[in-house]
Structure 1
Amino acid sequence: MKLDREVILETALTLLDEVGMDKLSTRLLAERLGVQQPALYWHFRNKRALLDAMNGEILRRVHERKLPEPGETWDAFLRENARSFRRALLARRDGARLHAGSEPDPADLDMVEEQLASVVRLGLPAPQAMTLLIALGRYTVGCVLEQQATPPDAAEQQQALDAAAASRPLLAEAFANYRRAGPDALFEIGIDLMLEGAKARMAGNEPPKRRTAAPRR
């Protein structure tokens, strides 16, 4: 089998699904590929570069909503963009952890510029657009980090926590609602709050409309 970047990345992503971030190593990857470890460094200068490339490959394959569609409003696009990003992070085991430590590829900056320009053209001022894109991205990573970090004994922990909260009615109700909602609905609620907050802030920054004086009779 010819060793190239594509083969290395595909094998590394398969290993990530099998063993997770904690156990993924260049030594293990080299063993799976049947090569010596230094052979990997002809294609990736170090493990960090490999992880960044793995993250980029996941986003390339799964993150499809990077630009607005015709007729889409800025808030509708940002919602779909966050959903698409979340799907990409969830597509692989520990996908959020992989992304959280990654560095942006300079080759992707043209796409970021185009994305930002598209949102600005839809009516969101550039400073707010960049801030909101970053905030939504970090919120999405945080949500997926929590979801993917669920321990094997999560059900037992939840039962113990619910039992301890039983004598605290507000907490008991909040926990029950939280359990019923699930990660998908909770993610959507957070996106709603952020987008509605952004729209409210924009409305509050609009100059007051000048009143037209009533004609004298």
Structure 2
Amino acid sequence: MQPTSEFSAPKLAKSLLRRRREGALATLMQSGGAPYCSLVNLASHPDGSPLLLISRLAVHTRNLLADPRVSLMLDERAAGDPLEGARIMLLGTAVEAGADDGPLWRRRYLAAHPAAEGYIDFADFSLFKIETSGLHLVAGFGRILDLAPDRYLTDLRGAEALLDVEASAVAHINADHSGTMKLYATQLLGAAEADWRCTGIDPEGLDLQCGRATLRLDFPDRVENPVALRDMLKRMADIARKAE
């Protein structure tokens, strides 16, 4: 397939980072430095960086504690030939959550993986964020390129007021506006009707999830505070209702 004017490498990379809930993590073995690959669950930081919850009993955790350089592969898991689907290989450094980061990372991870509530507080488990230095995108013939972090991460500067209310906004949306989430999913994103819930909000969009299925609703304009968020959600709901 030839490249088209509608193709956006940054948009595709951002979508994969927001929607994927598992990936292949590559670390370097402590003894000898050989590459070691393992399957991990993940969530996303508000800026799009991957968040991991991993045990110190795992080989990959021991590896990255000794050498934090990692890579992470995410793919679309499209039907048919998997090599025809888009995928990204992310380069970066694994950083463990500190006291200031912990609550946000924990909430974000549990929103994506509710079952982790049963073990997230075990002594051997820790949250890590992959601080990326770049990614390699493969999205079909003529669509292979490298991107710098400023092309696929969300700039959070100026959006502190939005991040401060994200947790309460997500809780309110899921408690009182579940019908609107279904409307977004079915009318704006072409998904089947299901029990879609909001798992995260950032300046560029909203994340939806039902079981293992995930969706990303991009905002047409950047949102940086609670008032702008309320107006945007109403605007998107009006568009969705007109599409019914």
TM-score (normalised: structure 2): 0.23
- The structure whose residues are more often strand, as a share, is 2
Higher radius of gyration, 1 or 2: 1
TM-score (normalised: structure 1): 0.25
- The structure whose residues are more often helix, as a share, is 1
